[in-house]
Amino acid sequence: MSAPAFDLVIANAHLATMAGTAPYGEIRDGAVAVSGDRIAWVGAARELPGNARTAPTVDAGGRWLTPGLVDCHTHIVYAGNRANEFEARLGGATYAGIAQAGGGIAATVRATRAASIDDLVAQSRPRLAALAAEGVATIEVKSGYGLDVANERKMLEAARAVAAAVGVDLRTTLLAAHALPPEYAGRADDYVDFACREMIPVAAREGFADAVDAFCEGIAFTPAQTRRVFEAARAHGLPVKLHADQLSDTGGAALAAEFGALSADHLEYTNDAGVAAMARAGTTAVLLPGAFHVLRETRLPPVAAFRAHGVPMAIATDCNPGTSPVVSLVLMMNFACTLFRLTPEEALAGATKHAARALGLADRGTLVTGHRADIALWDIAEPADLSYMIGGNACAGVVRAGKVARWPGR
């Protein structure tokens, strides 16, 4: 049997593979070999197969490699700007009060509906480029500022255009049940009917969304309305995710688990029964410390219970113009440690392998043979530096789907 041909070898690296039993899946003085868009070999440099010597090689200069990061919860495609609301809140206004006065999500819905696809792409691209510059290789983008078929479709088309332009792999999520559009004011159940009868079937038929999400909260949709959205998603073969228990305990985590959700997200108010249900269903917990910080929340997500029940914890930016104007997943790793008391190793797992799991992606998130060759190169002394440092950008290089996108000296 002949040895596999390698298209690329990354030599002279330390590896945080995030696989196996060692902390960070660490391999010092390691190497990675790539064939096509896949990782073909990972291990100690001295064990590199002989045929690797003839393969194209890049030198990591003794830096660290991690899996390409995965941002598994964003609302990064939107138009307009809500810095004025930030200023108003600092002056004493509340998030709910701004929403009642016609601002908040409704303001972004107006701007997004008015924007052309080209506008949306132009406004969203710098945000995604900032994430990608810090090693993000896969991103999830939600709709939810269109709230009708044409505008939800437009948002996710813009997401595809931005992801292609930046070179990041994309998963799209239909978040029709995000807020009530003005034309349905006072008729939430009618809007949910419309989402179930029109929006979800069209998204499934046209294939413009990979999953369905909802905002289950006192200020958004009830558990009963969320259940109807999930039933429609199930009927059309789309997996579900949920904005659950962010501001109050509505039983959202348990509802998500009942439908075998890929993830339940936020979860500050989730109770122990909800955590246990998530564990049984295999639902990933997505923690969003950016929204927690911006809203100056004080109730912490039940991290100890997630650990005790073995629920994997992912971390994401929740990038959105209202509650999490965040374009750094690496900063969210720091916030997860500082605010939620995750360990730096849990934070890196949360931005790689558990984030991939939250998207139902079994082919990425660790540096192992067979996974997509999405790899980030870091100018750090130890893996914990990724969570420890604030500011700067330690990402020195990126390989995406086996191709060198950026490398020191190239």
The footprint of Fe ion on residues 287-346 (CB under 5 A) is: 318
CA 96-102-105 angle, 5° bins: 65
- State yes or no: residue 103 binds ligand DI6 (CB under 6 A): no
- State yes or no: residue 140 binds Fe ion (CB under 5 A): no
Among 172, 250, 323, 352, binds ligand DI6 (CB under 6 A): 323
- State yes or no: residue 127 binds ligand DI6 (CB under 6 A): no
* DSSP secondary structure string for all residues of 276-328: HHHHHHTPEEEE-HHHHHHTT--PPP-HHHHHHHT--EEE----BTTTB----
Task: Measure the N-to-C terminal CA separation of the chain; round to a whole number of Å.
Answer: 35
CA distance 177 to 164: 27
Contact 15, 32 (CB under 8 A): yes
CA distance 24 to 283: 23
- State yes or no: residue 104 binds ligand DI6 (CB under 6 A): yes
Q: How many CA atoms lie within 13 A of 90 on its CB side?
A: 7
Contact 312, 346 (CB under 8 A): no
User: How many residues bind to ligand DI6 according to rule CB under 6 A?
Assistant: 11
Helix (H, G, I), strand (E, B) or coil at 26: strand
Closer by beta carbon to ligand DI6, 10 or else 332: 332
Closer by beta carbon to Fe ion, 217 or else 318: 318
Q: Which does 301 bind (CB under 5 to 8 A by kind): ligand DI6, Fe ion, none?
A: none
- State yes or no: residue 321 binds ligand DI6 (CB under 6 A): yes
Site string (188-217) toward ligand DI6, x via CB under 6 A: ---------------------------x--
Q: Which stretch binds ligand DI6 (CB under 6 A): 200-208, 319-327, 361-369, 373-381?
A: 319-327
The footprint of ligand DI6 on residues 289-318 (CB under 6 A) is: 291
Encoded tokens for 378: 């870091």
Smallest separation (angstroms) from Fe ion to the CB of 355: 14
Among 138, 270, 317, 320, binds ligand DI6 (CB under 6 A): 320
Among 243, 354, 357, 400, binds ligand DI6 (CB under 6 A): 243
* Cβ neighbourhood burial of 110 (10 Å; 0-12, 13-18, 19+): middle
The binding site for Fe ion (CB under 5 A) comprises 318
Give the residues lining the site for ligand DI6 (CB under 6 A). 104-105, 108, 178, 215, 243, 291, 320-323
